[in-house]
Each structure stands twice: as structure tokens, then as C-alpha cells.
Amino acid sequence: MVFETRSILAQLATDTRDIMELLNVNNLSIAFDTRDGKTQAVDNISFNVQQGETLGIVGESGSGKSVSCYALMGLIDKPPGHIERGKALFHNVDLLSADEKTMRGIRGKRISMIFQDPMTALNPYLSVGAQIIEPLLLHEDVSRNLAKQKALTLLEEVGINDAASRYYQYPHELSGGMRQRVVIAMALITEPELLIADEPTTALDVTIQAQILELIKDLQQRRNIAVIFISHDLDVIRYMTDRTLVMEQGRIVEHGQSQTVFNSPNHSYTKKLLASIPQQAKPVKFKYTPKKNSPLLSVNNVSISYADRSSRFQAVNNVSLKLAKGEILGLVGESGCGKTTLSQSIVKLINIDRGEILLGELSLHKLNTSELKQARKNVQMIFQDPYASLNPRMTVFNTLAEPLKIHRLAESSDIKKKVLNLMADVGLDPCWANKYPHEFSGGQRQRIAIARALAVEPQLIIADEPVSALDVTIQAQILELLLTLCQQRQLTMIFISHDLAVVRYIADRTAVMNQGKIVELNATETLYQEPTHSYTQQLLSAKLSG
């Protein structure tokens, strides 16, 4: 009797699981052919997705999180990709072995995707309306008129005002956040059962990110669709998901309820990831105590504008700030706020309209060419993208030796020694000196870029989003390196970032920029704990915490 009840219960349990389970991925392995042989991108992973839940997949670049989801959609190019084995059952259809016709019926109809970069995910040649209704016209027997009505309702639902006029606009006429809303509308118009969101907010500003995440969460609950949410951003995953898979090098190293995974991680890699998030304030050992000497850099009432054919755009509006020697100033703000323009005017890559920039005693915008060359040596930049900012045809040695030669900072006999020392300082093995940039990882390349900036022994370093392109564990290492170098060499630094946590970790003082103006400038901890300006408050509240 007891036995019978138990088996009925077990039967019930399997039944409910059958109803609830939308997708079951079993032993999926994917490999890619490369020049150096086979690369195992996904190694024997299994997971399932229940109806109406949000499953997060988190991991660093190359962990296989996106590849496995592209495989489910049949979006992997074969060759070079191979699905070596595995099954992915979605309503009794194996997504991995189904023929192209079956897959076309599922893609865009029952499973939709949202992609990372709304700038490139939309076709620039077609109006947004045409792109939104396309899947509907394709999969369902509806008239163009009805499809348009549905699209307009949906556009309103995803928060686009005056949808009727937006409908006929082209992607380039919309802002980034707006485009992502369009992409979301496009994915939802066929009322799919499963939505795969691949880093949907990574390319967006923090306040926009918060809005888009809120929107996805809201739509997901209202329509009860299942979501696979892929991200490298742990905060976003924690905020968005019910369950989380942590992937490392093609394997799932940890999975469970998101709360559990984040609060009490089991696997060492998860712990490492979580520890890499810069959440706390600047480490005490790097604290800088301002001395009462004259400032190294003074920016006085600087205004910069760009002339358009029809109008002038005020990029920087009457900005003043001072930097003492050895200080790290964080400059935060959203895209288009003028932070990069301001920094470029300090190396005189851009001319200023009004005001004055003083480096020590020198007025930067009154120098002649040779004086300027001398002054530029004292200010060096580190850029966001270490892939683009290094010359791919120069070895590390030549990259680092070049500034020494240009500024005649070393005798030719000394150059080699100097370069090798420099490499050691930034944590690069000196025996790599004859390698080319493509042979290094992103973090190592950023180390090369840092070494190049340090080569001429500058007084001031301007780092423009130096860690935004890096994975979180690498980011932590580079931040640590920058702090150490600044302390050892008494360097002054302007650290530009959109990432509030990173700035809090590294900066002594922080300036918040909005629409060309510095709206708040204060000691970092004071600013983060007691923001006075409404924009700062808005920025800080948009940051996801826990």
C-alpha cells in the first residue's frame, strides 16, 4: 500500500516535471576547428529550463555561455563548429538534430533572442517597424495591417512613446536604450515560450540598463515566459534570475538557486568571481592623504563644443577641477556626458573654446609645437580597448622602446634594460618581449598599454575606461596593478569610467559628469555614501545591489 502510494507520488512528480519542463539540455559538447587544432568550447553540459523561470548563465569570455545558447538556436556556423554530442529537447523536438525547416519554425516563433549590442543587432537599412513585424508575418498568417497594430501596442508596452512615428524610423535615429527596446519588442511579438537574452544590457549605460532589466523582468512575469539570461555581470545575474549556472572553460562548475549560489558559493571559481567584484571602498593601504602643495593639474572654467552643420553641441560646459600630485580622480558619467572629451583636451587632442588648462605652471593651450611635445610626455593615456590601441605589427619590445626613443629618454645601450624592467613592473614576463600583441590575452595587452604609458615616466596618467573591456577577474588584477604603480611612482591619475563600483574602488576623489558639467565632486566615500546632487543619487540607485 505504502509502496503503491509512493509510486503514484513519484509518477505525479514526473508528470508535473514533464509539464513544467520546457527545455532539457543533456550532455551537450561543442567544439570549434581552429588553426591550432580543435577547441572544446562547451564540454558536456546538462541543464533544464522550467516554464516561466529565469535561468542565468554567468561566466567570463570564452566560458561557452553564449555558444551553448547559440547552439540551441542553430546559430553556430558549421564548420568550423561541431556539435559533438548531446540532446536539447524542447517539446519533444531535439533542437540539435532537427532539420533546418523545423528549426526555422521554432526560431523567432517559439524561441526568440535578444542580443548584446542593439547598435549592430538591428538592420540599418530597414525601418524598425518592418523589422519588428517580420517574424510575425513569417510565422503567422496575419495581415500587414494587423501586424502593425500589434507592433504598435507592443512598442508602447516596452516603453516607447509615440510608437506610431517611431515605427517608420530607422535604427540610427534611435538611442541605444530605445533600440534595445525595439529588439525586445521584435523578440516578443510572436509570443515565444522561451526567450534567450545574451548580455542584453552590457552595451548600455547604467541608468538605461536598470530600465531595460526592469522591463525584461516585468514582461517575463506578465507573460509567464521562460528566460535564459546570459551575462558576465554577476550583479545583473543575481538581480534577474531564479537559478544560476556558473560556467568556466566550457563546463558548468556550479548551479543552483541564485540566492544560494551568490550567498554561499561552493566552487572555488564562483568564489573567485564573486571576490573580484569591486564592491568595497579603496583599500586602506592605497589611501592618499592630500598635501598642501600646488596642484599638478588645474582645469579652469573649460568649455568645449562641437560645431555641427546646423547647431553647436556643448560637450564640456564650464568645468573646473584641480588634481594634486599622487592623487587619483575618478570621473564618472554616462555616454555622451563629456568625460572623454574633457580628458582629451588635457592632452590637447581637442582644442578648448574657453578657459585654461594648467599642467604645473604651463598653460597647455598656449604652448608652441616643441613645448607641447615636451608637455605631452608628461601626460600619458591608457585606452579602453587594448586590442585596438596597440599596433599589431610591432612587438612588445618595439612598442615600449618607441616612446623612449622619441623622447630620447635612454641611451641606446640602456633601452633594452629599461624595457625589460618596465615589463617586469607591470607583471609581464620579460621573455615575451619579442611577441606581437595578438599573442596576448586582453588583460596582458592592457598591461602592455600601461607599460607603454609608463615608459616616458609621465606625471599624469589619463585612463579612459581601462578595464571595461576586461573580464571581472582580470579587471581586479589590473585595478590592483594600477593602484600599486600609482603608489610606487607617485603618479597622478584621472580614471574615467561608467562603472561606479570600479571608480569607488580606485579613486580618492570622484567627479560626476552629466551633460557636460561636473555636477558633484567630492571625496569618493563621501560622495558614494551621501550623494547630494539628484543625478548622482539617480546613478547610484540605478546600480544593482544584491
Partner 1 sequence: MIRFFLSRLLQAMPVIFIVITATFFLIRSAPGGPFDADKVVSQEVIERLNERYNLDAPIHQQYFDYLSHLIRGDFGPSFRYTNRSVTEMIGAGLPITFELAIYAIMIALIIGISAGMLAAVRPNTAQDYIPMSLAMTGICMPSFLLGPLLVLVFGIWLQWLPVSGWGYSPGDKILPAITLGSTYAAYIARLTRGGMLEVLNQDYIRTAKAKGLSTSKIIFKHALRGGLAPVVAFLGPAIAGLLAGSFVVETIFQIPGLGRFYVQAAFNRDYTMIMGTTILLSCLIVFLNMLSDLLAVWLNPRLTLDAKH
**Site stretch for partner 1 (CB under 8 A), options 45-53, 110-118, 251-259, 429-437:** 110-118
**Site stretch for partner 1 (CB under 8 A), options 49-57, 99-107, 235-243, 451-459:** 99-107
Q: Does 134 bind partner 1 (CB under 8 A)?
A: yes
DSSP element (H, E) containing 543: none
Contact set for partner 1, span 139-178 (CB under 8 A): 139, 170, 172
Q: Does 374 bind partner 1 (CB under 8 A)?
A: no
Q: Does 523 bind partner 1 (CB under 8 A)?
A: no
Which CB atom, from 120 or from 268, has the smaller least distance to partner 1?
120
Number of residues that bind partner 1 (CB under 8 A): 30
Distance between CA atoms of 194 and 49, rounded to whole angstroms?
9
Q: State the nearest-atom distance from the C-beta of 231 to partner 1, in Å.
A: 17
Q: State the nearest-atom distance from the C-beta of 170 to partner 1, in Å.
A: 4
Residues 6+ apart with CB under 8 A from 348: 364, 365, 372, 376
Distance between CA atoms of 370 and 347, rounded to whole angstroms?
14
One of 56, 59, 81, 135 touching partner 1 (CB under 8 A): 135
Q: Does 109 bind partner 1 (CB under 8 A)?
A: yes
476, 251 Cβ separation under 8 angstroms: no
**Site stretch for partner 1 (CB under 8 A), options 114-122, 245-253, 282-290, 353-361:** 114-122
54, 75 Cβ separation under 8 angstroms: no
465, 384 Cβ separation under 8 angstroms: yes
Across the beta sheet with 379-382, the strand order is 379-382, 460-464, 492-497, 328-332, 509-514, 517-523
Distance between CA atoms of 106 and 109, rounded to whole angstroms?
5
Distance between CA atoms of 221 and 240, rounded to whole angstroms?
12
Taking CB under 8 A as the rule, which mask of x and - marks residues 55-84 in contact with partner 1? ------------------x-x---------
Distance between CA atoms of 25 and 222, rounded to whole angstroms?
26
Q: State the nearest-atom distance from the C-beta of 83 to partner 1, in Å.
A: 16
Question: If we measure between CA atoms, which residue out of 219, 192, 199, 154 comes closest to residue 49?
Answer: 192
Q: Does 489 bind partner 1 (CB under 8 A)?
A: no
Rg from Cα positions in the chain: 26
Q: Does 184 bind partner 1 (CB under 8 A)?
A: no
Q: Does 138 bind partner 1 (CB under 8 A)?
A: yes
**Site stretch for partner 1 (CB under 8 A), options 97-105, 340-348, 351-359, 478-486:** 97-105
Distance between CA atoms of 404 and 383, rounded to whole angstroms?
20
Q: Does 359 bind partner 1 (CB under 8 A)?
A: no
Q: State the nearest-atom distance from the C-beta of 138 to partner 1, in Å.
A: 6
Residues that bind partner 1 (CB under 8 A): 73, 75, 103-109, 112-113, 115, 117, 120-127, 134-135, 138-139, 170, 172, 183, 186, 309
